Structure 1
Amino acid sequence: MTEPDFLAETRAFYDAVATEYTDMFRDALSRMPVDRAMLALFADLVRAERPDARTAEVGCGPGRMTGPLHRLGVDVHGIDLSPRMVELARRAHPEVPFSVGSMFDLPFRDGELTGVLSWYSIIHTPAERLPEVFAEFARVLAPGGHLMLAFQVGDRPSRQERPFGHPVSLDFRRLRPERVGELLRTAGLPVTSRTVREPEGAEPTPQAYLLARKPTA
């Protein structure tokens, strides 16, 4: 099967910028109390569902959220499309397993996971392909399992050209929480919590955090 162009472009982009991206965001979480609180909430939810909960961060990059989630006591596996990002994640967090993979075809059995974290990783997927992604999240989640999404709020994408001087470019898509919620519900993952915060610092848009749960019945 031929790989869609947007996946190849996303992989090439993050392979190219992986080192600079990792350096830029290495300590970002320490300056973001809302993000830390949302991550801790997600950890509490999956641990409350099952003490031995197995979780995946899909689109984990260099592990900047995967590592802290592991330190919160969650058994987490990082998945990313970019081999270079996975290489850096393994180096930074040797205690956490990381794999190269796509959110369209996750390496987990049906119902294997109690949690899926997707932190600003659906933002490169064309809107018409999001139902496939959410169906895959629903497939790997066990009944009662939790999904957390984070993304920028808006309607118009931002295109990054030649970041750090590298000859690559990529669209960063902004989304509306209401529309994402509808797609999740259709995929069998009704939203249980929706949080939107105002931009901070150099952020150009509000930021959304959605929690959804796979029904137990």
Structure 2
Amino acid sequence: MKIIVICSGGLDSVSLAYKVAAEHELVGLLSFDYGQRHRKELDFAAACALRLKVPHQIIDIREIGRHLGGSALTDDIEVPDGHYAEESMKITIVPNRNAIMLSIAFGVAAAQKADAVATAVHGGDHFIYPDCRPAFIDAFQLMQNQALDGYADVTLYAPYVNISKADIVSDGAKYNTPFAETWSCYKGGEHQCGRCGTCVERREAFHLAGIDDPTNYEDPHFWAVATGNLCAQEIK
């Protein structure tokens, strides 16, 4: 199966790229510049494509992003610290982000004769992001079946949709994913902050998977204090 992976440069999507490269035919990585404050993640996606020796396309949808205001990921709004399970994390929603990106990706896949588009949405996203839930994945596939009827048959491949980020770390390790060469932090600083929702989730995932976290965090002890996991003090 020929698959295009939507790759942000984060831990989940880079792990997915390595999984697809091992199990299927990876034909390329597709990234989106929507005006995110952590745009440096796209450099990690580009580096992933180079390592896997596949084409990498960055689609500029910044003009669309400018009309999706009110998110801490795109506007001058402070990114909250803490776990994704906290209500405050809803400020990181970019409305319809995945629906927009997937629609474009399916068009690209149809034009390039790919069999599937892969997305790394996972179970940990369900609480905050409605366009990461299984119901959305199923509905989007039905919509695309109609949108491309008679022209192309493209499948939405979402192998992580019902599993945790810790499971993704375990799966990524199986395929030798270079976790240190991934970017999760929403703040886009010199190093990953260790405090925002995606950093806390990342640190927790490595802990639960029992795999060493190679990430250089600006605040390596925040997760330990926030969760009461004193063993996290051992992180680098």
TM-score by length of 1: 0.37
- Structure with the bigger percentage of helix: 2
- Structure with the bigger percentage of strand: 1
- By relative contact order (CA 8 Å, sep 6+), the higher-ranking structure is 2
State which structure, 1 or 2, has the greater radius of gyration over its C-alpha atoms: 2
